[in-house]
Amino acid sequence: MTKLSVNINKIATLRNSRGGDLPNVVQFAKDVQAFGAEGVTIHPRPDERHIRYQDAIDLKPEVYTEYNIEGNPIKKFIDLVLKTKPTQVTLVPDAIDAITSNAGWDTVKHKSFLTEVISEFKQNNIRTSIFLDPVLSQVEAAVATGTDRIELYTEAYAHQYGLGNKKAIEPYTKCAELASKLGLGVNAGHDLSLDNIAFFKANVPNLLEVSIGHALISESLYLGIENVVNMYLHKLK
């Protein structure tokens, strides 16, 4: 069974647009868990344009499933993760001004840096994952960093699948197979949706977790959040 972690950044974006506390991100996290989600993901950025650093702290006692914090491991982010001690930290090489995540790590070039950061998190009993493009050489190099898992960056798959190109799954299948042989857990995320998740799940072996936010929240505007969470859970069985 692949776990569904709901990224609630968009809820924070909506809240921030009016300057108040509606919708309340902590209550939303509690609700999606009650509806069946097996995890909550947040991705705080330095400008706090959606999830704020205080949100990460406020969410900690209320997330009783998997708590996944994503981000670029700058000092402020590292300090936040060490303070909140989530279930998992997912390292993403975001530029400060990036609208959304748009590339995976170069695990060859950044091996020393990643190894140092991951070591610190693991000493604090925090599971680690590295955001990666579906490239075999990057998966191989990820092992040397000491990471527990990789998260495959799925934008390319989602785009090509939408065009009818189902062969776009092949790099993901191969990377997941290699990761499993090397002892790495496999997560995935970015632009996964109700339209493309079942095919992805069926063709990516040993998929442990998917993190879905933008599509899930958008689909919920029409179908309702409880219904959509359960639709994902059904497709991930």
Helix (H, G, I), strand (E, B) or coil at 49: coil
Please list, in sequence order, all residues whose beta carbon lies within 8 angstroms of the beta carbon of residue 109, skipping any fewer than 6 positions away: none
For 178-182, the CB contacts below 8 A with 24+ separation are 178/136, 178/139, 178/140, 179/139, 179/142, 179/150, 179/206, 180/205, 180/206, 182/139, 182/140, 182/143
Catalytic residue among 43, 66, 151, 209: 43
| Omega within 30 of 0 (cis) for the link into 23 | yes
Active-site residue, selected from the candidate residues 38, 151, 190, 209: 190
Q: How far apart are CA 237 and CA 234, in angstroms?
A: 5
How far is it, in rounded angstroms, from Cα 93 to Cα 14? Answer: 25
Q: Is 120 a catalytic residue?
A: no
Q: Which of 38, 66, 70, 151 is catalytic?
A: 70
Q: What is the DSSP letter of 105?
A: -
- Annotated active-site residue 159? The verdict is no
Is 214 labeled as catalytic in the residue annotation? no
Burial class (CB in 10 A: 0-12, 13-18, 19+), 36: middle
Task: Report, as residue numbers or ranges, the catalytic residues.
Answer: 43, 70, 190
